[in-house]
Amino acid sequence: MSNIQALEKEFREYVKKIEDFNEALSVLAWDSRIGAPKKGVQQRSEIIGTLSTEVFQLSTSNQMSNFIEKLTEKDVYKQLSIITQKTVDECKKKYERNVKIPKEEYKQYVMLQAESESIWEEAKDQADFDMFRPYLEKLLEFKKKFIHYWGYNEHPYNTLLDDYEPGIFVDTIDHVFSELRDGLIPLVKGVSESPHQPQTDFIYQPFSKEQQKHLNIDILNEMGYDFSKGRLDETVHPFAIGINPNDVRITTKYKEDDFKLALFGTIHEGGHALYEQNISEELIGTPLCDGTSMGIHESQSLFWEKFIGKHYSFWERNYQVLKKHSNGQFDDVSLEQFYFAINEAKPSLIRIESDELTYCLHIILRYELEKSLIEGSLDVKDLPEAWNEKMKEYLGVVPNHNGEGVLQDVHWSFGAFGYFPSYALGYIYAAQIKEAIVRDLPQFDQYISQGDYTLIHEWLKKHIHQHGAMKKPAEIIKDITGNGINAKPLLSYLNEKYRRLYQF
């Protein structure tokens, strides 16, 4: 073995250790959210703090610094495997980012995250913003200090975006989001004012949790979610978590008078999970064994939830499956009526229950608010009022209490500022991906109505899934479309679909 090979091996083992700790942290995160004992919160936060500190220390150690220095030497770097090269790149980026934060502050931050998330759950239940407010203020204070340590170009929010959507900046988002908003306003207006509205009463009928669970499992199996590499649990806020490609877990939330919530939530999380289950096993033990960005991750969940799960062809096949698991509520409902009902579009309060037409307006609202919080042009204490005002302005509806308003999302409770834009970017990417798949697989609709996802899975695996974080978002979009980020495919999809449904 040459010196370089020996160094490469040593580096990969070092990185594997970091990733093992990260996988343990993922299990702890999953555990905390699926029903770990309440009184264990404090001590569990300390465990998470200790493990995170270890990861932080290993990622910012002199040893890591030495690895980076030696392995990025031109003559050395070019002899490394492509996986090691990209691993070095990731480690270097993380090193440079992390080394600027004092260790003790980082540990306190991680402990605060765990505690805040648990407080948020209670605050949300009780619609009590003041209970959550001091935690949010502390989290924001940490984030501002971190931005100061990191430095930034042009806008402090840009450095946060880099965590979720590397290479995308405030000016791009401002541009794409405004194009989207300009396109959405007349559409939402047309839909609201149309005299042709769906009948939906048959949706909101009793549908037991047990029956819904069987339905969701059937649908996950049809989607190709591999239960031998995952499991389905129940939580307040649904999520997917990839511990490694062989262990990707999802959760859902059941509402017994609205089966849509769990079903489309499950398809959404299932889309995330399919991505992670299909990352190449070669990447295990490296930071590349993950989705390449939040936006691309979200494109996968949204592709499955909206472009498949809300597709007419999907229900040509699965309406029977739904009927089998339910209690006769759809007996007198035609497929067309049902399809219109599940695609009902109207302004509403809760992001995760909103429809594909109004969804991006929920995101734009959050993006603007957190940008203001970070800029300092908005105080946490004024957040509920600002939230409610924007809801009225964009969607014409106002929450009755903060539980269905500013407290509805988990994200801020663990300090994830800069995350929300990814959801709308995910929408935009998903529409671009859908367009590219239909170009390559013109019989797309037919495959879906037959429940045969073989070629679709192959396409997604080849172009997106297998690469993990080896390919960056812009590279993926460029490869499959020949172009950059573009809101037009999403806008034409929505225009075509909703003008036909609502007949205007």
Alpha helices in 126-258, H assignment, sequence order:
129-150, 156-164, 170-193, 209-223
* Catalytic-role residue among 269, 276, 305, 435: 269
Least distance to a second copy from the beta carbon of 405, Å? Answer: 29
272 is in an annotated binding site: yes
Q: In this complex, which beta carbon is closest to a second copy, that of residue 270 or of residue 489?
A: 270
| DSSP at 40 | G
Query: What's the CA gap between 45 and 48, in Å, rounded?
Result: 5
Give the largest CA-CA distance in the chain: 75
Residues that bind a second copy in the complex, under the rule CB under 8 A: 16-17, 20-21, 23-24, 27-28, 31, 35-40, 42-44, 46-47, 49-51, 54, 226-231, 243-244, 246-249, 284
Q: In this complex, which beta carbon is closest to a second copy, that of residue 48 or of residue 391?
A: 48
Query: What's the CA gap between 379 and 422, in Å, rounded?
Result: 23
Query: What's the CA gap between 124 and 413, in Å, rounded?
Result: 11
Q: Please, which contacts does 100-103 make with residues 24 or more away whose CB atoms are closer than 8 Å? A: 100/149, 100/150, 101/146, 101/149, 103/53, 103/56, 103/57, 103/60
Q: In this complex, which beta carbon is closest to a second copy, that of residue 230 or of residue 271?
A: 230
Least distance to a second copy from the beta carbon of 157, Å? Answer: 34
Tokens linked to 215: 């339905």
- Bridge-based pairing of strands 232-234 and 240-244 is unpaired
Q: Round the CA-based radius of gyration of the chain to a whole number and report it.
A: 23
Whether 269 is catalytic:
yes
Least distance to a second copy from the beta carbon of 42, Å? Answer: 7
Q: In this complex, which beta carbon is closest to a second copy, that of residue 244 or of residue 354?
A: 244
Among 488, 504, 427, 490, CA closest to 191:
504
Least distance to a second copy from the beta carbon of 57, Å? Answer: 11
Q: In this complex, which beta carbon is closest to a second copy, that of residue 231 or of residue 381?
A: 231
Phi, psi of 453 (to 5 degrees): -100, 10
Least distance to a second copy from the beta carbon of 27, Å? Answer: 6
**According to the 3-state scheme, what is the secondary structure of 361-427?**
HHHHHHHHHHHHHHHCCCCHHHHHHHHHHHHHHHHCCCCCCHHHCCCCCCHHHHCCCCCCHHHHHHH
237 is in an annotated binding site: no
222 is in an annotated binding site: no
Q: In this complex, which beta carbon is closest to a second copy, that of residue 39 or of residue 500?
A: 39
Least distance to a second copy from the beta carbon of 8, Å? Answer: 20
Q: Which residues are annotated as a binding site for Zn(2+)?
A: 268, 272, 298
Q: Which residues are annotated as a binding site?
A: 268, 272, 298
Query: Which residues are annotated as catalytic?
Result: 269
